[in-house]
Amino acid sequence: MKREQFLEHFGPWAVVTGASSGIGTGFAEQLAAAGLNLVLVARRGETLEAIGERLSRAHGIEVRAVTADLSTADGIERTRRALAEVEVGLLVSNAGGAAMGAFNRVPVEALSQMIVLNVLAQMELTHAHTSALLAEGRTGGVILVGSTAGLQGTPLGASYSGAKAYVLNLGEALNYELMGTGIHVSVLVPGSTDTPSMTARDDVDLMTVPMPIMDVEPVVRGGLRAVARNKAVYIPGLMNRIVAGPIGRRLLSRGMSVSLQGRFMSRCAPERLMVRPKTTTKRSARD
């Protein structure tokens, strides 16, 4: 799809959640370069304002910043209102977060907050946006940002992988349901990506996962190409597609995939986040 066609189909406005860093900022930059006006949503208002000013100057677009915490009902409602204030064609539902560690080591409050952010917020915003497009007879689209963690159960990220599995299944189903309406739905399923949420964690060291770490730019570019083509699911990176995609599923049983993920994650987690110590010493018969 050429630039002019993309702008016509998905413009004149795009909403990007989680836009203050990482993949969200990458989407904002590439959409601004394509000529779309932007509504940027994240918790850090000052950072959003700075990004918006930079993109507005560079590309001559209009940018609005919405400070909202999408792990709260108020933040979701504030973003829903922002969706209704301008003619939004594309929603990039990128905001997410992971409370990592053994299920019983993570406070249930943190897990509940994560479910709101990764599941309820994505569902409610997608419902609001696609309902508006259908009611007004407009074309547009949704990019839901998932994770390769959602392709199978991920030990030490059990609730996170469950949440991202919801995102994957939601997007796949909506892609089919909305076929022929002019509303495209794609799920972007990145693996390890060089973002602050990956490199600056205080729970697990995801940089030690033995998989290639991708830059943000090609991940975002692939996601935009996928939604332009109305591709239901896009996994960026050849190695990610081999290990986590259809090829990997043919080579490994689901149980083997979970076990492999468990071994990877066990290397990354401190002992305080494990159900049991990483190493144990056998007791002798005399003990």
Please list the active-site residues: 160, 164
**How far, in Å, are 94, 158, 170, 286 from residue 147 at the CA level?**
11, 13, 13, 49
Count of all residues that appear for the chain in the document: 287
Task: Single out the residue of 199, 210, 150, 206 nearest to residue 21, CA to CA.
Answer: 199
Pairing verdict, β 88-93 and 140-145: parallel
Q: How many CA atoms lie within 13 A of 214 on its CB side?
A: 23
Q: Which helix (H) or strand (E) holds 166?
A: helix 158-177
Cα(17)–Cα(5) distance, integer angstroms: 24
Strand locations in 10-136, DSSP E?
Answer: 13-17, 37-42, 63-67, 88-93
The residues that bridge with 38 in the sheet, in sequence order, are: 14, 63
Sheet with 63-67: strands ordered across:
63-67, 37-42, 13-17, 88-93, 140-145, 183-188, 233-234
Q: How many CA atoms lie within 13 A of 145 on its CB side?
A: 28
Contact indicator for 103, 62 with CB cutoff of 8 Å? no
